[in-house]
Chains A and B, each alone.
Chain A
């Protein structure tokens, strides 16, 4: 049973545009929502994360928007650059689970120059 659903599966954006990736979850006990970024040939790496007590978190060009009532969260990449081309995974976790994460299906982002 997929507890975190991610869309779209792939995304093509022009340089300077906004990339938006969406995730929806089912388990209301989740209390930590990270996004991981994976470049070809590398393992995923933490990009940005949010807890459900805030509705938005921004780090540079990357922003997470969180809607607790809708059980949805999204990643926005402003002024997208070719160097942002990677696969992005959303995830969710519950405190006390030893860091165990439930990942979404992944989004392959391509930013065209």
Chain B
């Protein structure tokens, strides 16, 4: 069964802290994505990766960076957390038997920055 896991369901951090959100998929997918979800704005793409050590900016990359050292793991980094980064963060992956387009999502990490 397809599985995408995220390291934390809930996270509370202080302004200025460096924050790491981890995502792991067990489907040998090539492509991985980080989104943030906010009411009324839908899912907005932060960064995505087509392969190990490859990354591309999405629609809202400012204030974020990513790391993909292994195929199964994609990390989102908030270099200096700010209150406007309080949000739900969703990781997804795609590739393999499901075709090139279906994205499989993790359960999300709700991040609060105080």
User: Which A residues form the contact surface with B (CB < 8 A)?
Assistant: 6, 9, 32, 34, 36, 41-46, 49, 89, 93, 95, 98-106
**Known contacts A44-B105, A98-B100: A6-B42 contact under CB 8 Å:** yes
Do the beta carbons of A34 and B102 come within 8 Å of each other? yes
Chain A residues closer than 8 Å to B48, beta-carbon distance: 98, 100
When A and B form their complex, what is the total count of cross-chain residue pairs whose Cβ atoms lie within 8 Å?
Answer: 64
- Residues in A with CB closer than 8 Å to B39 are 106
A98 CB contacts on chain B under 8 angstroms: 30-31, 48, 50, 94, 100
Assembly CA distance A89 to B39 (angstroms):
12
4 other contacts beyond A45-B104, A98-B100, with CB at 8 A cut-off?
A42-B108, A44-B103, A103-B35, A106-B39
Using A99-B31, A99-B101 as known contacts, say yes or no to A44 and B43 having CB atoms under 8 A apart: yes
Given A89-B43, A104-B42, A43–B4 Cβ distance below 8 Å? yes
Q: Can you spell out 28 A-B residue pairs with CB atoms less than 8 angstroms apart? A: A6-B42, A42-B107, A42-B108, A43-B90, A43-B92, A43-B108, A44-B90, A44-B103, A44-B105, A46-B103, A49-B101, A89-B43, A93-B101, A95-B100, A98-B48, A98-B50, A98-B100, A99-B94, A99-B95, A99-B100, A99-B101, A99-B103, A100-B31, A101-B45, A103-B35, A104-B42, A105-B42, A106-B40
B33 within 8 Å of A by Cβ?
yes
Docked Cα-Cα span, A16 to B49, in Å, equals 42
Chain A neighbourhood of B33, CB < 8 A: 99-100
Number of B interface residues in the complex (CB < 8 A): 27
Q: How far is the CB of B9 from the nearest CB of chain A, in Å?
A: 8
CB-defined contacts of A42 to chain B, threshold 8 Å:
107-108
Nearest-Cβ distance from residue B46 to partner chain A, whole angstroms:
12
Q: Which of B45, B92, B102, B106 has the most C-beta atoms of chain A within 10 angstroms of its own C-beta? A: B102
Q: Measured between alpha carbons, how far is A6 from B41 in the docked complex, in Å?
A: 10
Question: How far is A76 from B14 in the complex, measured between Cα atoms in Å?
Answer: 43
Q: Contact partner of B43 among A45, A93, A103, CB < 8 A?
A: A103
Interfacial residues of chain B within 11-69, with CB under 8 A of chain A in the complex? 30-31, 33, 35, 39-45, 48, 50
